[in-house]
Structure 1
Amino acid sequence: MIPALALYGVAKRFGATQILRGVNLAIEPGERHALIGPNGAGKSTLFNLIAGGARPNAGRIDLFGAEITRLAPAAIARRGLARSFQSTSVFGRLSVFDNLRCAALLAERDRLRWWQRFAGSSTVDARASQVLEAVGLGDRARDEAATLSYAEQRALDLGIALAGGAHTLLLDEPTAGMNRAEAARTIELIRETTAGRTLLMIEHDMDAVFAIADRISVLVQGRIIATGAPAAIRADAAVRAAYLGEGFDEGGGA
């Protein structure tokens, strides 16, 4: 089976500082994969390379067997990969529904004639409405996105990726800044809405990692030191020493 996302010897340096040191990673279609590691390990840099925000100094990145290493972010997005950031990236002055319509319109751009893009399309509206309900924002449809709570804006961020038709999602710390109840709802939302899609997630909340991920990779000092099922990563002595630490709770928390 061709991996949904594959990295081969990916390296990145800034000046004399080596950030990534030959990262190899293969994620299967439909897999939910978590990338964990200490601050400064290179996780966000790796996301930036995958999404086209920067180029590696060495190595190759493939999306469903096609190389995307040197493509621009927009070209990568058109191939079905969407990235969320640690901070929300919604259009604050647009309504929640119109945020989703913009994303749905992008997904339908090749199927609509030019005048349909301006006059509206029942297909676009239907897609936006479906995602609106899926992310639990049906009662906020006409509200400006800026009026949403932080957790609701993160849900809208996810909805924008879904409405845009992405089959591969990069989520950067999706539960950061949330209280326990908000994080629990977000975890369940991610589990429900990403079913069947490929997911790569950076997350420091171990409850979220072990609740969502099928497999976990551990990045330390620019190298992946372990990849495996959650139970195997939890039991790995090298991982515990390098990242999870003595305070890691056997029950799943951090």
Structure 2
Amino acid sequence: MIPALALYGIEKRFGSTQILRGVDLEIEPGERHALIGPNGAGKSTLFNLIAGGARPSAGRIHLFGAEITRLAPAAIARRGLARSFQSTSVFARLSVFDNLRCAAQLAERDRTRWWHRLSGSLAVDARAAEVLDAVGLGARRDVAAGTLSYAEQRALDLGIALAGGAHTLLLDEPTAGMNRAEAARAIELIRATTAGRTLLMVEHDMDAVFAIADRISVLVQGRIIASGTPGAIRADAAVRAAYLGERIEQRADPRADPRVGDRAQRGAKP
């Protein structure tokens, strides 16, 4: 099977400072993968390279077998990869529905000739309405996006990616800045709306990581030191020493399902 996303020997240097040191990673279609690691490990830099915001100093990036290493962000987005940022990126003055409609319209534009504009518009509205309900913002349809709460804006960010037809999503700390209840709702929303899509997520909240991810990779000092299931990562001595430490011992019953447990400890972020 061709990986949905594949990184081969990715390196990134800024002058004499090397941030990434030969990152190899393959993510299967439909897999939900979390990338964790301490601050300064290179996670945001790696995300930026995948999305086309910068180019690696060495190595190759493939999306479903096609190389995207040197493509611009817009070209990568047209191939079906969408990225969310740590801060929200909605159009504050547009309504929630119009934000989604803009994303759907961009996706439809690549498939529709100008003389099909009317029928395309109907398809755009239908797609935007479908995503609006999926992300739980139906009651906020006509309000300006800038007036939404922070958690609602993050939900809209996700909706914009979905409305644009992305099959591969990069989510950068999707629960950052949320309280416990908001984060729990965000986790359920991500699980529900990304079913069948490929997801790569950077997240410091280990509750979110264990609840969402099928597999986890640990990035430390620009290198991936371990990849595996949540259970395997919990038990990996190198991971514990480099990142998780003894905090994982203090969490809820270790016999619990590692993908859904430990919510009582939310807020304890490595």
Would you say same fold, with TM above 0.5?
yes
Q: Which residue of 2 aligns with 1:131?
A: 131
Superimposed CA distance per residue, residues 32-76 of structure 1 (whole angstroms, 9 cap, x where no aligned partner):
000000000000000000000000000000000000000000000
C-alpha distance in structure 1 between counterparts of 2:131 and 2:221, whole Å: 38
Equivalent residue letter for 2:241: A
SS of residue paired to 1:108: helix
Quote the offset at 1:114 in angstroms.
Answer: 2.5
Q: Which residue of 1 aligns with 2:180?
A: 180
Equivalent residue letter for 1:87: S
Quote the offset at 1:24 in angstroms.
Answer: 0.1
Q: Which residue of 2 aligns with 1:160?
A: 160
Contact 1:91 1:146 in 2 (8 A): yes
Residues 1:44 and 2:31 aligned together: no
C-alpha distance in structure 1 between counterparts of 2:115 and 2:155, whole Å: 31
Q: Which residue of 2 aligns with 1:100?
A: 100
Contact 1:105 1:117 in 2 (8 A): no
Quote the offset at 1:115 in angstroms.
Answer: 5.8
SS of residue paired to 1:245: helix
Equivalent residue runs for 1:21-40 within 5 Å: 21-40=21-40
Quote the offset at 1:119 in angstroms.
Answer: 9.3
Equivalent residue letter for 2:193: T
SS of residue paired to 1:22: strand
C-alpha distance in structure 2 between counterparts of 1:35 and 1:17, whole Å: 22
Equivalent residue runs for 1:1-254 within 5 Å: 1-114=1-114, 117=117, 121-248=121-248, 249-251=250-252, 252=262, 253=265, 254=268
SS of residue paired to 2:89: coil
Contact 1:132 1:159 in 2 (8 A): yes
Quote the offset at 1:112 in angstroms.
Answer: 2.5
Quote the offset at 1:117 in angstroms.
Answer: 4.9
Which structure 2 residue ranges, 5 or more long, are not aligned?
Answer: 253-261
C-alpha distance in structure 2 between counterparts of 1:247 and 1:37, whole Å: 14
The size of the alignment, in residue pairs, is: 254
Quote the offset at 1:118 in angstroms.
Answer: 8.3
C-alpha distance in structure 2 between counterparts of 1:231 and 1:112, whole Å: 46
SS of residue paired to 1:143: coil
C-alpha distance in structure 2 between counterparts of 1:29 and 1:131, whole Å: 21
C-alpha distance in structure 1 between counterparts of 2:215 and 2:111, whole Å: 36
Superimposed CA distance per residue, residues 119-171 of structure 1 (whole angstroms, 9 cap, x where no aligned partner):
97110000000000000000000000001000000000000000000000000
C-alpha distance in structure 2 between counterparts of 1:21 and 1:84, whole Å: 24
Q: 1:120–1:65: structure 2 CA closer, same or farther, 3 Å change rule?
A: closer
- Please report the TM-score for the alignment, with normalisation by the length of structure 2: 0.92
Contact 1:4 1:198 in 2 (8 A): yes
SS of residue paired to 2:44: helix
Quote the offset at 1:116 in angstroms.
Answer: 5.5
C-alpha distance in structure 1 between counterparts of 2:117 and 2:44, whole Å: 35
Q: Which runs of 4+ in 1 moved over 4 A?
A: 115-120
Equivalent residue letter for 1:73: P
SS of residue paired to 2:169: strand
SS of residue paired to 2:125: helix
SS of residue paired to 1:89: coil
SS of residue paired to 1:100: helix
Contact 2:108 2:120 in 1 (8 A): no
